[in-house]
Chains A and B, each alone.
Chain A
Amino acid sequence: MTLYTAARHRAAETRPHVTTTVRVRPPKGNAGRRNRPVNVAAGIAASFWLVIVAVPLYYIALTSLRTSDSYLTDGALVPPGNLTLDNYRQVLDLGFDTFIVNSTIVTVITMVLVLAMALPAAYAIVFGGTRAVRATFNTFLLGLAIPAQAVIIPIYLLITRLHLYDSLTAIILPTAAFSLPMAIVVLTSTLRDIPRDLFDAMTVDGAGTVELFRRLVLPLSRPGLVSVGIFSGLNAWNGFIFPLVLTQSEARRVIPLGLWNFQSRFGTDVPGLLAAVVLSTVPVLALYLFGRRQLLRSLSAGYRR
């Protein structure tokens, strides 16, 4: 008997039987974290990764504070003699606040749309199983492989037909649509790890599909929802090609388009561009730092064992 199956059997044997209706609430605190093994290999990977991540980030922060002479003459990682905030000033003068507002609207709505559509669909795929639902799953697998650039022209035609050209909606709709396949793949993975015994227990008690969704799936899919939310949100925040083709006026410009202002005909104002990058990352970073607790708690929402 392998160690794995032995562990499963042992765990099964030592558990008391639960026959009452299970009310599922994610555990509070660090209950799940005690006694997890410390993995040396993982630790090594983490240290290695720390260096790999820190250096480029340092470069970005440093360069955004350089003057353009310093950028030309000094080495890449050497701190310059005089730091300057001119690049940031220049970026703000460009109307960056409008860009941030637009990007925020696009991102929030896209995330909401994606989550609202993907979770029920994943629910149907994992717990349902009608032919139509299976076809849907396959369609989304197909959708994973569609590169946005391939369909940009038909989408442009569609958007103009719908009279949505040069609006934020024009950006939101295709961006949300293209985040759906990934969302479905991740959420089906999360949902199918929901323990059968909980499901069976609730079903035996006569819970219908809606109630099952509300009381079982919704709370337990939080880790997946968080991952999907983050990825689709970031996709929307940093998306470039849809805004490029589907919007035009400065009032509708989003941050990635604003970033490209630093590319003139004959070269890139690298310090300026990187200052804009830092500025555009700040809102998201602030959100992350602020919501970190929530994030961690959601990620650690396991099943109390």
Chain B
Amino acid sequence: MHRRARLFHIGVSLLATMSLVLTGCGTTGPGGSRDKIQVWALQDPQNEPVINAGLDFFNQSAPVRAELVTYVNDAYKQKLHVSMGSPNAPDVFFNWGGGNLAEFVNANQVVDLSHALAARPEVRDAFLPSVLAVGRISNGQYGLPMNGIQPVVLFYHKGVFADAGLEPPKTWNDLLSLVDAFKSRKITPISLPGSQGWTELMYLEYLLDRIGGPDRFSAIAAQRDGAWRDEAVIRALRMCQELAERGAFGSNFASINYDNTGASKLFATGKAAMFLMGSWEYTSQLSNNPDFVERGDLGWTTFPTVDGGAGDPLNVVGNPANYFSISASSPHVRDATTLLIETLSSDAYVEDRVNSGQVPAVAGVERKLEGTPNAEFATFTYDMVAKAPSFTQSWDQALSPAVGTEMLTNLQKLFLSDITPEEFVEAMEKLS
């Protein structure tokens, strides 16, 4: 072979080999640290310092150190799913409880914490029962709440309401007349990021609860035959569709996106009068649009009642909390259990949470909330949840992923009047 060509070939092979060596041959374990407790969580600038503080405290006296690894939202679920059951699984992982956690439980990949809790009843009783319940799957406690409660709240723009001389709604009929009033003033009555189905779900969740009470959804979650075909479900769907058709969300809601703050912006700039969203919206507005909040224009209230409805008006829907669970294949189950039991309801951890602006799912925390910068909203949120006879988890987290995704797609079609409530219900019935 020609000398130059040979040199070239040698060069390339050398480069290739060197790079393979440089890039490292990798591992089968998670970064080769089977000697640490790997805690996986969602990336969240609010959460991370709190978790890290808790882990640091644990590490001071623990035989095995714990470390936090975070991932971005969309990627997290897939990453978790792909790794569970493989050698790269985390020891402790963040999840949403409900159906989401049930998938792992049913595959026998999660540790049951009931015994550990029974041995420490004061820890078990520290958590708000309605929140702890969502970490229970088939009579075992598989997850412990690790962050704040996030009920769905009806926000409204005080400035816009004042200008129009109107009051926030107490009943559904109030809401409907508000919709008409704002439409005539060329203001979008309610901001809705309709390009993402989960935002529309909040209306359905509340309406079903108001009309038929929380049992209707429990039946659906338990996959009972005909649970979707319930009269209350159809009525709730119809009311959602009527709200959309009435123009409550404007004509272009299906193009609005929540993640790029399009919907929040619409609300904060006063182009929309109301916004039904999880309580995190408050913190989000505070960091993105501080003037709006500091001016006092951000108002909040509970979801309106429905005349003749069977549901308790104090009921709440939303994300009870997020949970930490322990993977059954972890070599550090005992230490991880200690980590969770000791840390999550400890005073230090709870206080950190409060200071970061969240409302921990812990009983008796009102006193700690007073005097914090956002005390008013935090207290409101806490009271809402503490007084609620039931706290229904967001359906897309409570149901199995397969059913949840179908539901969201069909819901989008419903809001766009592409399908009728009856068709929606039939499609869901076929799936479950």
Contacts and interface: CB of A to CB of B under 8 A. Distances in A.
Is the A/B pair a real complex? yes
B195 to A, nearest CB: 13
Contacts, number: 111
A137 B288 CA distance: 54
B69 to A, nearest CB: 7
Nearest to A246: B26
Interface string A178-222: 000000000000000000000000000000001000100000000
Interface in B78-117: 78-79, 82, 86-88
A226 interface: no
Interface stretch (B37-45, B366-374, B381-389): B37-45
Interface in A141-179: 153, 156, 159-160, 163-170, 172
Contacts of B122: none
A277 interface: no
A109 B16 contact: yes
B219 interface: no
Contacts of A214: 2, 5
B26 A165 contact: yes
B288 A156 contact: no
Contacts of B79: 244-245
A167 B24 contact: yes
Interface stretch (B228-236, B240-248, B261-269, B420-428): B261-269
B30 A248 contact: yes
A71 B261 CA distance: 10
A14 interface: no
A163 B259 contact: no
Interface stretch (A38-46, A263-271, A288-296): A263-271
A260 B75 contact: yes
A68 interface: yes
Contacts of A261: 43, 72
B216 to A, nearest CB: 29
Interface residues of B, number: 49
Contact of A267 (B1, B264, B268): B264
A258 to B, nearest CB: 10
Contacts of B419: none
B12 A163 contact: no
Interface in A228-269: 244-245, 248-249, 260-261, 263-268
B191 to A, nearest CB: 14
B88 A160 contact: yes
A245 B45 contact: no
B31 interface: yes
A73 interface: yes
Nearest to B269: A73
B289 interface: yes
B26 A163 contact: yes
Contacts of B60: none
Given A214-B2, A266-B280, A168 B24 contact: yes
Contacts of A159: 26
